[in-house]
Amino acid sequence: MKKIILFSILISISSFVNAQKVYSVDADYKANVKVFVVDADYKADLLVFKVDSDYKAGENDGKWFFTDADYKAKKKIYFVDADYKADLKIFFVDSDYKAGWKNMAKKHLLY
């Protein structure tokens, strides 16, 4: 019985761990993921909507909250200047319902 309760707690916690709170770092060696912003949604691996509060951040669904400190973030990202340098290509969308993965093979980068 204790194992079932512990397992349930771990599953519940894991849903919070994946929240997309990101922090933009100033050097690529500090980043978990190198990101390039593309100029059209069809070129992106992920469509991103920037939310204005951390509680609105999604669970790896493209809704990002940019934190003001690296220790508050789940992932540290670095914006590169060319697509070939990137691990992930993103496009910023203007509505939360448009956010989401276009290339599911890259989804592991933000877990």
| Residue at 14 is within a domain | no
Asked if pLDDT for residue 49 goes beyond 60, the answer is: yes
Q: Judge contact between 51 and 96, C-beta under 8 A.
A: yes
Percentage of the residues of the chain whose pLDDT score is greater than 70: 83
Domain of 87, in residue numbers: 19-110
Our count of domains for the chain comes to 1
| Residue at 95 is within a domain | yes
- At residue 57, the pLDDT reads 87
Please report which helix (H) or strand (E) contains residue 90, including its range: strand 88-92
Q: What average pLDDT does the segment 85-108 reach?
A: 97
Q: Judge contact between 109 and 88, C-beta under 8 A.
A: yes
| Residue at 8 is within a domain | no
Q: What is the pTM of this model?
A: 0.81
